[in-house]
C-alpha cells in the first residue's frame, strides 16, 4: 500500500491535472482496508474561489444504477422479490414492443442491459413525459436486438427497475432509495431530488467545454432539470432510478465500504451476501477490447448496475456517470479491499477515470499507467469520433442540389409513437427544429436532407433530418437517426394533417 507521502503526492498531481484539463474541481473518496484514506474536494466548486470540500454535493448520475440494483437486493433479501421472475408478474400492465420480450424478460435482464432495448435517449431526455407516460410508451419503442443477445446500455432499463421498486414497496423510488439505503448507510448529506440539490448552498456548479465536443476552455451550463419535475409535489426526474442521487466524498466512503463489506453496515446486514455477489457478477460480456484502458484493464462485462473488469490481474467493479456538467466514477477492488470515488464538475470528461486509476495505481504501487496523458488523448479522440459518427449519417453532401419544395412546405408538426412531437418552423428563409424543448437551426445538406447547426441535447451538431414526399407531392415525414446501436433504424415522424 502507498504511504501517506505517496498519496499526498498523487493528490497534488490531481490538482495540477485539474488545471491542465481546465476542470474546476473534483470530489474524491478513497477507502482501504476499512480505513478512509481521503474524503475531500480539490479545486474550486464554482470554478473561481469557493473551495470544494468533503461535503460539497455533486450529482453522481449513472453511478446511481448500482444503488437501484442494491435496492432490489434489499427487497429480495426480505423475500418480496426474485431477480429471475418475469417483470410482467410484478407489473401486469407491462408491455414492450415485442410480446415474447414482454412475457419473459426478468429484472436481471434489464439491470444488465441485455433486454434488447436500445438507448432511445430522446424518447425521455428533455421530453417532460411523466414516469407513468414513459412506462406506457415502452410498447412503442422498437427493440434493436434479441433478448439476452447483446449489451445495449439504456436508461429505460432502469426506469423499469424503478417502477418495480415502487410496485413492490409502495413507495416512490426516490423515497425508497433514501429511506432504505442511503439513510441506513449514514449517507445523510446525500439527496435524491434535483430541486433539493439546486437549492443547496454547498454544491458544485456545472461546466462544459466551449465549444462543446472540444478540449478547450470551459463555460458554466445549467443543471439538468426534467420538465416533468415538480418540486412542490415532490415529483422528481421520471428516470430517477437511472441517475437521481447527488452525493459527496464523505458519504461515498460509506457506499464504497458497504460494497467491500458485501452488504453489511457495521454489524447490520442489509443485503444477503449471495445477492451482493450476484449484483457484482458479470451477466453479459462486452468483449476483451478496453480501448485506451488496455492492457492494464481488460475482459469487460456488465453485472447489475456495475461494470466488471480485470485490472492488473484483479477484479475491478466500476461504474461511470455523466449528466449535464458532471462526470463521475465509482470503483472497488474486492481483493485489495480498496474503493475509490471521483466526481468532477465537467461534462463528458475522462479526467474522472484518469484520477481514479492513478489513485488505484499509487495505492497498489504501480507506476506504468500514465493515465492522464493517455486518457486526455482518448477524450479528444472521442469528441472527434462522436461528431464524425453523427455527421456520417447524413452522408457526403451532393453539390449543386436544392430542396424539392419551398422551405415553408417542410414546416409543421411531426409525430412518432413513444416520442415527443417534432416541430419544424420556417422564418426568414431558415428552418428551425424544436424537439424536446431544444431549438436549433437547420442547414440544407442536399436534396431533402438538412442537418442541425448546433448540438441537440446530447447529440452534436450535424445530426441529419431526412424529409420524405408522399405520392400526392406533400412532405409526409421526417426521419432522424437517434442512436448508434447496430440494428437501430431511423425514427420516422409522420407529418400531422
| Tens of pLDDT, residues 224-263 | 999 999 999 999 999 999 999 999 999 999 999 999 999 9
288 by Cβ neighbours in 10 Å (0-12 / 13-18 / 19+) ranks as exposed
Strand pairing report for 430-435 and 438-446: antiparallel
Q: CA-to-CA distance for 231 and 137, rounded, in angstroms?
A: 24
3-state class (DSSP) for residue 116? coil
Residue pLDDT, tens place only, 306-350: 999 999 999 999 999 999 999 999 999 999 999 999 999 999 999
Per-residue confidence at 2, pLDDT binned at 50, 70, 90? low
Length of the chain: 497
What contacts 274, CB < 8 A, 6 or more positions away? none
In the numeric block, which cell numbers belong to residue 45?
466548486
Q: What is the mean pLDDT of the chain?
A: 95
Residue 483 has pLDDT above 90, yes or no: no
Expressed in angstroms, the distance from the first to the final Cα of the chain is 69
Q: CA-to-CA distance for 430 and 445, rounded, in angstroms?
A: 13
CA atoms within 13 Å, Cβ hemisphere of 146: 2
Enumerate the domain spans of the chain: 4-388, 407-495
Could you give the C-alpha distances from 326 to 60, 63, 381, in angstroms and in order? 8, 12, 19
Strand pairing report for 338-344 and 326-333: antiparallel
Residue 1 has pLDDT above 70, yes or no: no
Among residues 92, 87, 100, 219, which one has the least CA distance to residue 158?
87
Residue 365 has pLDDT above 70, yes or no: yes
Residue pLDDT, tens place only, 122-151: 999 999 999 999 999 999 999 999 999 999
pLDDT at position 486 is 83
Choosing among 1.10.10.10, 3.40.980.10, 2.40.128.600, 2.102.10.10, the CATH entry for 407-495 is: 2.40.128.600
Per-residue confidence at 201, pLDDT binned at 50, 70, 90? very high
Could you give the C-alpha distances from 47 to 11, 327, 462, in angstroms and in order? 18, 15, 30
pLDDT at position 497 is 84
* Percent over 90 (pLDDT), the chain: 91
Residues 30, 340: contact at Cβ < 8 Å? yes
| Planar angle of CA 71, 149, 244, nearest 5 degrees | 30
Could you give the C-alpha distances from 213 to 118, 382, 387, in angstroms and in order? 23, 8, 8
What global pTM score does this model have? 0.96
3-state class (DSSP) for residue 173? helix
Residue pLDDT, tens place only, 421-474: 999 999 999 999 999 999 999 999 999 999 999 999 888 899 999 999 999 999
Choosing among 3.30.2130.30, 3.40.50.450, 3.40.710.10, 3.40.47.10, the CATH entry for 4-388 is: 3.40.710.10
Q: CA-to-CA distance for 214 and 374, rounded, in angstroms?
A: 16
Amino acid at each position: 500500500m502507498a504511504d501517506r507521502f505517496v498519496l499526498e503526492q498523487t493528490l497534488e498531481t490531481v490538482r495540477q491535472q485539474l488545471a491542465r484539463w481546465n476542470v474546476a474541481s473534483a470530489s474524491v473518496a478513497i477507502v482501504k482496508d476499512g480505513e478512509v484514506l481521503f474524503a475531500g474536494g480539490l479545486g474550486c466548486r464554482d470554478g473561481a474561489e469557493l473551495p470544494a470540500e468533503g461535503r460539497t454535493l455533486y450529482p453522481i448520475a449513472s453511478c446511481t444504477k448500482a444503488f437501484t440494483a442494491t435496492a432490489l437486493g434489499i427487497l429480495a433479501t426480505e423475500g418480496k422479490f426474485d431477480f429471475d421472475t418475469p417483470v410482467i408478474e410484478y407489473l401486469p400492465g407491462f408491455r414492450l414492443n415485442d410480446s415474447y420480450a414482454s412475457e419473459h424478460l426478468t429484472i436481471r435482464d434489464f439491470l444488465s442491459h441485455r433486454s434488447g432495448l436500445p438507448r432511445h435517449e430522446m424518447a425521455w431526455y428533455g421530453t417532460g413525459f411523466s414516469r407513468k407516460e414513459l412506462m406506457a410508451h415502452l410498447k412503442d419503442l422498437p427493440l434493436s436486438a434479441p433478448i439476452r443477445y447483446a449489451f445495449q446500455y439504456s436508461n429505460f432499463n432502469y426506469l423499469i427497475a424503478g417502477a418495480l421498486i415502487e410496485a413492490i414497496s409502495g413507495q416512490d423510488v426516490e423515497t425508497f432509495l433514501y429511506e432504505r439505503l442511503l439513510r441506513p448507510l449514514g449517507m445523510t448529506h446525500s439527496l435524491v431530488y434535483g430541486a433539493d440539490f439546486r437549492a443547496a448552498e454547498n454544491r458544485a456548479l456545472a461546466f462544459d467545454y466551449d465549444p462543446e465536443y472540444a478540449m478547450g476552455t470551459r463555460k458554466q451550463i445549467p443543471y439538468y432539470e426534467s420538465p416533468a419535475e415538480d418540486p412542490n409535489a415532490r415529483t422528481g426526474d421520471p428516470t430517477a432510478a437511472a441517475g437521481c442521487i447527488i452525493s459527496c466524498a464523505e458519504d461515498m466512503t460509506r457506499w464504497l465500504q458497504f460494497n467491500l463489506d458485501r452488504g453489511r453496515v457495521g454489524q447490520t446486514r442489509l443485503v444477503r451476501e449471495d445477492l451482493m455477489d450476484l449484483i457484482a457478477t458479470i451477466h453479459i460480456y462486452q468483449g476483451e477490447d478496453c480501448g485506451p484502458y488496455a492492457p492494464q484493464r481488460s475482459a469487460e462485462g456488465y453485472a447489475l448496475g456495475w461494470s466488471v473488469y480485470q485490472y492488473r490481474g484483479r477484479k475491478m467493479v466500476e461504474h461511470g456517470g455523466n449528466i449535464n456538467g458532471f462526470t463521475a466514477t465509482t470503483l472497488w477492488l474486492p481483493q485489495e479491499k480498496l474503493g475509490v470515488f471521483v466526481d468532477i464538475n465537467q461534462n463528458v470528461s475522462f479526467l474522472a477515470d484518469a484520477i481514479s486509476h492513478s489513485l488505484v495505481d499509487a495505492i497498489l504501487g504501480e507506476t506504468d499507467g500514465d493515465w492522464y496523458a493517455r486518457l486526455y488523448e482518448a477524450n479528444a479522440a472521442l469528441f472527434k469520433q462522436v461528431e464524425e459518427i453523427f455527421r456520417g449519417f447524413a452522408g457526403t453532401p451532393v453539390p449543386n442540389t436544392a430542396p424539392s419544395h419551398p422551405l415553408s412546405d417542410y414546416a409543421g408538426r411531426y409525430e412518432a409513437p413513444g416520442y415527443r412531437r417534432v416541430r419544424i418552423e420556417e422564418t426568414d428563409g431558415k428552418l428551425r427544429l424544436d424537439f424536446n424543448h431544444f431549438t436549433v437551426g437547420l442547414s440544407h445538406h442536399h436534396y431533402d436532407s438538412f442537418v442541425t447547426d448546433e448540438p441537440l441535447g446530447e447529440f452534436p451538431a450535424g445530426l441529419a433530418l431526412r424529409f420524405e414526399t408522399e405520392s400526392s407531392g406533400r412532405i409526409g415525414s421526417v426521419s432522424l437517426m437517434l442512436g448508434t446501436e447496430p440494428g437501430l433504424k431511423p425514427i420516422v415522424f409522420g407529418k400531422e394533417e
